[in-house]
Structure 1
């Protein structure tokens, strides 16, 4: 219609479409203007009947149509790089396009892209535009195809699109291949995410959807004979809301109230903290923006505790989390700092009764897929007549810190290696061929070895080390009957040790760190019943084990120093 009547304003064209809609049903009360299917020929004739003269049709052999521009919800790293869909509506093949991107109202934010290729008549094609640098904020993006085959499109009304965009400064989380050279074909490559926060890392074979390859900060990827790209998806886990009930006046209530919040990115509300006056069931309801609801009954004990909810949340405004049934929970009057936010993910705006109250649900644990998307990791592959083979011992082993040693010797058994890179899973690495590594804490550690061969390609392999500490369970039960208690625990500068012994005796007190090293020791003559003072001054904060030894045997107690 605009091509036929280019001199008419948009309002006239819209009214013509409105007045000529074709009714879908029988003639009746719904047979009104605007109730039906748009009828373009009828609208065209309507405008002629109104006295408007159409212009002659225009021929454009290079007629190109810009059908769609796709951008993510969040354009990260202060850049926007749309994926555009174009269609050749002309009679000539399109071999070049000049595409201009700009920000409405900002003449200095503009980029021109020259595309070359082959687009046959009636064919569609997606074109990835380069990144345009844009500061963080909300803008209107303009995309315009200014030339096709080096000339302006005479039918250029469908060459322009406008789109609202949100640009953020958040960066894509980097990830990389551990080796500095290509992987040997038919081997394995170690890929690793450089994410340092609390959360989960999942690896996929596609930028969206796809097959899950593994979980963890790093994984081994099987390599065939061609390059491969894998994608790291970060799911941060963050805390949100009031951490505790301290501050303001704490009160008990069972009224159907809660918190109102908005969601900006898909996320999962894993759990919340509550304070219960009495043990029993509580009905917690999630009310969606649509008005529908999800109910969950949780059993709680009296006092402070976490309750698992595991509610999946989609973007939307006007969510509510409410207590709908059961005995009282604690809430706060005053001391609030609304809104409580995870930027670009979720915002607790207020309680359902206003800004003065904070109802029931403290210290939310929220997991979300990082809104900047998955990080691609390209794995290059090199052919090799004699590919290096990665291997080491021990491949899977355990360490008991209570046995007095925390070191583990690794032996390289690779074939054809001239370079070694070990990752011990605790943040430590080594380039030695046969390293010795000391673990300082308990846990399951993934150990990997990446080797490079003489032909310049790499291969990787991995194993695991389970580090445990069985000091307490390994201590024999003393003969006779005696007990030991420590207070305060946790402690800062001093502790007091209360012993229940049958008779006065010499007590050997030894404080061990969690790797089994003695941190402090004293021989004390115990005559009872007074508590013994033991100094912690000068010791670093952390977990310790205090062992008391007498002729009757040994006892141990865990201790935390702040």
Structure 2
């Protein structure tokens, strides 16, 4: 209705132009907006005017996200164009709080301070880094006219800098006691301030939207200065971006960014025109609606891009024509699903958004501070795309950024530079290999099943969780060895590796505090990686059930748990799965049974986890802003390995009782490192022992030598002739030092070999974290230096069934890639 498709056909998309949205913020990760975020190209402080220093913009209500989408939104993967100037970039400031309860207490600058910041965002007056257009879909009382003292001089300065400043007229209807919002009612010039009314574009005419404020301004003046609004644009049920998706909204707040998007397109066509000249062109070329001539309902009428274009040409402005025949774009930079090895092979999707074919594209990629180039060649027709694969990348542990951009397209420098780049953060987690015996295990009637998982090397930071689904699901148990009742039907459980970290205030001893009742207060947190919120400590004053809720930035519940609390300090198990995201809230929905302790002092936001994946950023919702509410000593966990490993269980019909004892539960290795087990099972014919350290046995009454201190869960799976089994476990504590002074701990350096199980009754495994370039030769010697056996293999993991040897100590010599490593092996 405003003529945008005609401009797109000419190749104008807003490329290179900048929009500042002063509103409730913008959801910076929205698929229709994240590519256009100017913070991808400049420091966040120069494009996101927020005193808290957050690098990723957020939106406390969704209003600003909707406004930005109308001006320049484009979901590039879904090919969903919702904005006029979809190649323009945006800046933002969360300066508007009124009318949005979810914004109460959130940080942000004032609109006036943001106007002043916009004149020089980087603090360097020699750079032209200010926005081309500023959209203001907000306003205050229509009775305020403070132009001379505050806003008037500021708006004049913005106009003098060449910036087009646009305001929504307001949604006060045509009641006789109301008029245009402040500061849209300011009239220091013909297009200053430039206010926009709304029409209902769904009807012929189109008619003014009933909510759209009308003039005249209460700031005085005569003739055109007295008439408000300046122009009008569609504002009824405009579909645009909202946090989490898309929705239609109505208001002059939606009409204003229509005009802002039009101004961005005109600025691309006429880069030397000032903001005032562009607004005057839109004003003077508007299509008259309603009564003839300028009036206080529609202003000069509905904006029309082609008419404004012709108006500027008639004034002597020479248009710039973009080279639309070629436009290579990048997107969907991703790590392959299921990849968990530190050596990864990402892919990036190459799109042809131009009018002609693409034959060659050079893509620069940066990782770990090094820049290299991917070269693609072929024939990519307009509208098509192709996946371009990286070479294998060996990445260190932790968050690693990969950044890509197009260097040349068909041998020429790219013109459209907004969607010619992408970035991806890969969380690389190095963890031991996890193995399970998948079964199936048939469990006798009334018996117990034992779930067992083994690590390729000891790692105290890793935990093993058992789930009832390969992804997501319910957490059923924790530990390398778990005893569960026999299933009533065929059941599969899945073992996964997780790392746990602590987060938040450790307890309520720091600073003073008190109790508060209610559901409003919450802590806010970010998760840069999918998170399992395992446990928190709370201090209830009253006993009773509480509903713990994790909510997203729109207040929608994403996970919850009901817990019955005593009137005492309590460690609460929540096990809430939280997807990767920003601005989550952890709060209560307790139906008035609140009365939990919170800190009035001693808080020190943000609280950041050890590896930086998770952050408690602040609090909200309560009368005491910025205080630490309710939830202490968080235990958070995240997946640290490959896909979960399955173990299958099924019910049987036989009857067996597995039982055993040990000569002592506390083993002091300094005196006697050997544990002596006695089998007490009934009805069993075969036995499968696991000593909790990777060693196993099938002897009915085994002995086992422990060589490392620790707590071990020993399990026995006893099987009978009926084909079903029962299990039993017990706990051992091993202390002291192994008397022969031999350490089983293996080197942790990159490329070092790890030996397990050790001690071993038969087959051993050697493993390292990367494959070598040549063969691996292993030699086995006794303590007298006699060569007993050799093995040659390739790769990073090899198994070796040992020859028949008497129990005792042996040497392994491993040669690979010119390096030699000596290992000690205990044969049981």
Structure with the larger helix share: 2
Query: TM-score by structure 1 length?
Result: 0.49
Query: TM-score by structure 2 length?
Result: 0.36
Greater relative contact order (Cα 8 A, min sep 6): structure 1 or 2?
1
Structure with the larger strand share: 1
